[in-house]
Structure 1
Amino acid sequence: MIPILKPYTHIYRPVSHIYLRNLSSITKFDTRKFVQSLQEKGGFSEKQAEAAVNVVNAAINDGIYSITNNLVKKEALSSTAYQQKVDFAKLKGELQTMDKSEFTGLKKEQEKLRTDLTNLKNRLKEEITKNQASVRLDLNLEKGRIREESSQHELKIEDTYSRIDEEVSNMQMQIKTVKTQVLQWLMGVSTGTLALLLTFVRFYF
């Protein structure tokens, strides 16, 4: 009697228990009864029936090996695909975290640059205001100095005019005095001449 076939559980250990139960139910059959059936219904001799059962046994074992091997490969592929999905999700999370971190860093840099520009703008505004105030002060001082110098020049001019007027008045007085003296001299000369003429006339006439 040929022994009952047993499933190759050592070949497809990674496969789930559902597949093991299905394969076990397929491979557990009465070989002796199958041999007798071949002898009675098929006209096989005992050796022929046993040989046929051995062929069927080998075919079943090869089929089970192929099925379990494919199941193992399929489960390995599923496991690999699942692991790839997990790795992809992990990588996606890391990339999102990295992008978020980089975005936060860029935002901080942008805020820092904006603050620096605002501070620079304020400093430039203060410097411009200080320079404008200094220029205004210098201009006011220069205007004051020019006014003072102008006032001094005006005083000098007025003093010069006063001196000129005084000199002119003195010259006019001197001219009048000279005129008076000349007139007095002319009157004296005329009087003397007239007296001489009268004397001459009296003497000769």
Structure 2
Amino acid sequence: MKFVSAVHSTTVLGFAALLMLLAPPAMSQDAPLAHEPPVADPHRVATQTLVAASFPREEAVVSPDGQWIAFTQNAPIDGGIMDPLRNAPGGRGIFVVSITGGDPRLVTSFTTALTDLAWSPDGSKLAFLARPREATIVRLYLVDVAGGVPSSVLGDSQYEPRSYVWLADGDIFMTATAGKRTALYVVSPKTLVIQEVDGRSRPAGMSSALPRGAGTRLVDFAASLAQRDVPPAR
């Protein structure tokens, strides 16, 4: 019996040694386990949070200080179900959410679709283009980021903005049509004074849109004005 036990013990020990030789080397304690998820990028988390909120986003722009994201909503959530905590009345509006994620806050609602959302240089206001139901032309609007009713920068004037960009001093540089003319203007949101920068006439057929690439040139020109020490041309 002792002989049999010795043989049995030798066989078991030999089999165990063989398993140790065949097994992969143990990983160090510092190495990540295969099932551990990768470390998440906080910016990626913020993006995922916004998407998971089920808001029908149209445009999104980051605030000048990089701490907030403003976005437009131009339709109800899927299925047409209105959620008062997530949807603006009528399904259209502007929301603000922290760059780190969280619950978006309704800034303002609107009756028609919103486009060209942009922060003011000091981050206190948002500008956008929209055509109200009672109007025949597009209007340029401003609203406080804290919330409120949007105001038309151009009032009920004949100017119809096509594109615009904020200047560093808080004025707005835009291209707009008036009748059969398209020209460049600078408008002050504080005084509501509109000054023409480029008075060259354009054919009536071009009043509905800028030529290809003109939008980029507009932004570049406005950026060059914003970098100057002197006020923009009036």
Which of the five TM-score ranges fits, normalised by the shorter chain? under 0.3
Q: Which has the larger radius of gyration?
A: 1
Q: TM-score, normalised by structure 1?
A: 0.23
Q: Which has the higher strand share?
A: 2
Higher-helix-fraction structure? 1
Under a length normalisation based on structure 2, what TM-score does the superposition of the two structures give?
A: 0.20
